[in-house]
Amino acid sequence: MLAGNLREIRPTYRDGMLIESRPATDPEIAALVVAQQRELREADGGLDGQATITHDDIRYLAVVDGGRAVACGGLQALDAETGELKRMYVRPAYRGRGIARQLLAALEELAFRQGHSTVCLETGTYLPAAIGLYRSCGYRPVPVYGEYVDNPYSVCFAKRLPVAA
């Protein structure tokens, strides 16, 4: 469902940042996901135990600076109404510039365009900056769901998207 519709997504600029759609197989996306997973293992001491699983049905948005992807986030349909945000990551040298907030807004817009009324996500209890970002952008805690149910380090959030006028 997502892959076909995403061909309509064109590169856009948000506050001077280029945000473009990328497939899960894109080498720069793969490198960002590897960096994200390495950082997560360092942050939780390897206790989380979550394995990196590549899903073909995740479509990524990349923030590009100087022709290089410096941040990414993905959207995966859980069902017709709900999209799940996946693999949000900003390279350390680019943090503190509002990139994550702009990327999150672009992913929400993408979810809305795909017909989702709700966006949900999972993050680690040991990631206070991520939790703060999501809360400040209107995400509210929800019960842990799906593959995260048995993970004591998971915390989940959701946000209802605005209804079209």
Question: Does any domain span residue 165?
Answer: no
> What pLDDT, on a 0 to 100 scale, did the predictor assign at position 65?
92
pLDDT tens readout for residues 19-40? 999 998 899 999 999 999 999 8
Question: Does any domain span residue 113?
Answer: yes
Q: Which two tokens stand for residue 60?
A: 């990524």
pLDDT band with cut points at 50, 70 and 90 for residue 48:
very low
Residue type, 133: L
Look up the domain containing 88 and give its range. 2-160
pTM: 0.86
pLDDT tens readout for residues 143-154? 999 999 999 999
Burial class of 41 by CB neighbour count within 10 A (0 to 12, 13 to 18, 19+): middle
Distance CA 3, CA 123 (A): 24
pLDDT tens readout for residues 65-93? 989 999 999 999 999 999 999 999 999 99
- The tally of domains found in the chain comes to 1
Residue 149: CATH number of its domain: 3.40.630.30
